[in-house]
Amino acid sequence: MEKKNIDWSNLGFGYMETDYRYVSNFKNGAWDEGALITDANITMSECACVLQYAQTIFEGLKAYTTEDGHIVCFRPDLNASRLADSAKRLEMPVFPEDKFVDAVKQVVKANASYVPPFGSGATLYLRPYMFGSNAVIGVKPATEYQFRVFATPVGPYFKGGAKPITIRVSDFDRAAPNGTGHIKAGLNYAMSLHAIVSAHEEGYDENMYLDPQTRTKVEETGGANFLFVTKDGKVVTPKSNSILPSITRRSLVYVAKEYLGLEVEEREVYLDELKDFAECGLCGTAAVISPVGKVVDHGKEICFPSGMEEMGPITKKLYETLTGIQMGKIEAPEGWIVTIE
């Protein structure tokens, strides 16, 4: 298959229209067959529930080329089950999990000419999502839905090495204690836009959100979970029911325990213990781990001993092991790598 003429190593993280996307519609209580289509645009009612009341959820995962030339994706079954959890919380119908994985495979296969070659650092980003599509004006869930998956090639997250970032403790909250922080809903992002724009204006890369009830515990950033490393080499990750369960973080916890023999604690992490950690990283599909060098809490700087030049040693080991598993250089646990072709 011939690849598109794209400068893979200079791609950014932006949308580029590709040839095919998958669409399935839910109507009269059932999902239709679903199909690949070429039209990238959507036409719907001006009063669609998604437009008026933000009834929309999404997922994000990547397809990429391994060293031996296969196109694969990473744990898509976990994206399928997380989308199902998100759907239930927003009173949307569940898209069958096996059909989700099949839809992802179909989209990757149909857009294989857009899958970046091995070694470019670029990947094919996949965006499955679902929204309420019929007209709703009195507040209630839609009765018609559309599930779609599109693909867009994206560049390497770190161009020229992973430089540690600086984040601030945010005065804005991301998720209410019994709200929707644990699901991947567009609404969680809408309310984070002001916080991220103001963080950037003040020179910070990201926001660290605290638990809104006590403002003493670390939750996550707008789109990534935290991993910390203690001075004696233990991996610590915050536990809270308003954190989005990152697939990358869950995979890194497994890698830490089973591949690297590290002790892992999933527990509440207090803001005032940050100064005791040796390393800090943000985990998510986009970067796998971005190292954090500094946290600023209202003028008070907390600098991790790993510094502002490179990833801490344990963060780096975690990063290299997981990316090695993803790229087919290190044997993967059963079911983690799904080969598409």
Ligand X SMILES: *Cc1c(COP(=O)(O)O)cnc(C)c1O
Catalytic residues: 184
Residue whose CB is less far from ligand X, 248 or 321:
248
Q: Classify residue 134 by its DSSP letter.
A: S
Interactions with ligand X, residue window 141-180 (CB under 6 A): none
Stretch that binds ligand X, among 11-19, 145-153, 162-170, 240-248 (CB under 6 A): 240-248
Stretch that binds ligand X, among 109-117, 198-206, 231-239, 246-254 (CB under 6 A): 246-254
Do residues 145 and 71 touch, judged by C-beta distance below 8 A?
Answer: no
R_g of the chain computed on alpha carbons: 20
SS3 96: coil
Q: Classify residue 4 by its DSSP letter.
A: P
Q: Classify residue 78 by its DSSP letter.
A: H
x/- string (CB under 6 A) for ligand X, residues 262-291?
A: ---------------------xxx------
Do residues 143 and 83 touch, judged by C-beta distance below 8 A?
Answer: no
Beta bridge partners of 63: 73, 124
x/- string (CB under 6 A) for ligand X, residues 31-60?
A: -----------------------------x
Distance separating alpha carbons of residues 41 and 239, to the nearest angstrom: 39
Question: Taking the complex as a whole, how short is the minimal distance between the CB of residue 164 and ligand X, in angstroms?
Answer: 19
Q: Which of 148, 184, 217, 294 binds ligand X (CB under 6 A)?
A: 184
Residue 231 — φ and ψ, nearest 5°?
-65, -25
Using the rule CB under 6 A, is 182 a contact of ligand X?
no
Using the rule CB under 6 A, is 225 a contact of ligand X?
yes
Using the rule CB under 6 A, is 224 a contact of ligand X?
yes
What does the block give as tokens for 106?
A: 């179909």
- Residues at the site binding ligand X, with contacts judged by CB under 6 A: 60, 184, 220, 223-225, 244, 246-249, 283-285
